[in-house]
Amino acid sequence: MASVIQYDKVRKIYNSGDDEVVALQEVSFSVGEGEFVTVVGRSGCGKTTLLKLTAGLLQPSGGAVQVAGAPVRGPLTNVGIVFQAPVLLAWRKAIDNVLLQVEARKLRVENYRKRALELLDLTGLKGFEERYPSELSGGMQQRVSISRALIHDPPLLLMDEPFGALDAITRDEMNLELLRIWHEAKKTVLFITHSIPEAVFLGDRVIVMTPRPGKVSEIVNIDLPRPRTTALRDEPKFISYVRQIRKSLGVR
């Protein structure tokens, strides 16, 4: 399997005043084409830092990040990024928030309108295309964000705790929807979360990070059948993966 992302001894130190914060000590792993890789770790272990390094929004202090075989030297354009908060423009309808991505890339909006409608349908927002963000629930807003991240058809999707702010029920539903989209659109996904069950439910592999300074403590292959279903969460194998990762993270 060709690797889409490769981290080689990645190190990131933040300098704030006289203080040095070692956010990532040494991170090495890779993500294969079409793979769904989840990264789990406690708050402050460097997950967002890792995502920003991958997107080219930050540069490493040591080591190297490669995407599609080339070192990341600046902001990547051929990726879709979904952050924890939906960051929609309040004065734009759902469809126009999706098309924002197209405008920002100086592409012809008219060429993308049909695709934007398809994506809103795919993410379960049919009938809500003309609504403003204030008329949508948190889950629906996040679906608009996901549609926006997919509109330019990037082969790689980077997601930073996209469902962290949602209630547990909506979150489980969004997990299923995301897997459906991933399956249909054949993307490579790097998905960051602090939820162990979410990491296991979604991932082909789970990268377990140690607390600060961030390192990879374990990589767990998730040998569970796809398509994943809600019932899987009650399976002994699922529970045993969750237990293994909890132990690895030192959760009491």
Ligand X SMILES: Nc1ncnc2c1ncn2[C@@H]1O[C@H](COP(=O)(O)OP(=O)(O)O)[C@@H](O)[C@H]1O
User: Minimum Å distance from CB 58 to ligand X?
Assistant: 8
Q: Which two tokens stand for residue 239?
A: 């529970």
Q: Fill in the DSSP letter of residue 179.
A: H
- Is residue 73 within 8 A of residue 141, CB to CB? The reply is no
Cα angle 147-149-155, degrees, rounded to a multiple of 5: 115
Q: Which of ligand X, Mg ion, none has residue 134 at its interface (CB below 5 to 8 Å by kind)?
A: none
Nearer to Mg ion, 51 or 220 (CB): 51
Q: 48: helix, coil or strand?
A: helix
What ranges in 125-232 are assigned the alpha helix state H?
138-150, 168-185, 196-202
Q: Among ligand X, Mg ion, none, what does residue 245 contact (CB within 5–8 Å per kind)?
A: none
Smallest separation, CB 237 to ligand X (Å): 27
> Residue 48 or 248: which CB sits closer to ligand X?
48
Q: Among 6, 48, 97, 193, which residue interacts with Mg ion (rule: CB under 5 A)? A: 48
Nearest to 86 by CA among 177, 148, 179: 148
Stretch that binds Mg ion, among 8-16, 26-34, 40-48, 213-221 (CB under 5 A): 40-48
Least distance in angstroms from the C-beta of 251 to ligand X: 15
Contacts of 136 (CB under 8 A, 6+ apart): 94, 128, 144
Q: CB of 47: closest distance to Mg ion in angstroms?
A: 5
- Using the minimum distance from each CB to ligand X, give the nearer residue, 55 or 98: 55
CB of 136 to Mg ion, least distance (A): 24
Residues that bind ligand X (CB under 6 A): 14, 16, 21, 23, 41, 43-49, 212
> Beta-carbon neighbour count of residue 9 at 10 Å?
13
Site residues (CB under 5 A) for Mg ion? 47-48
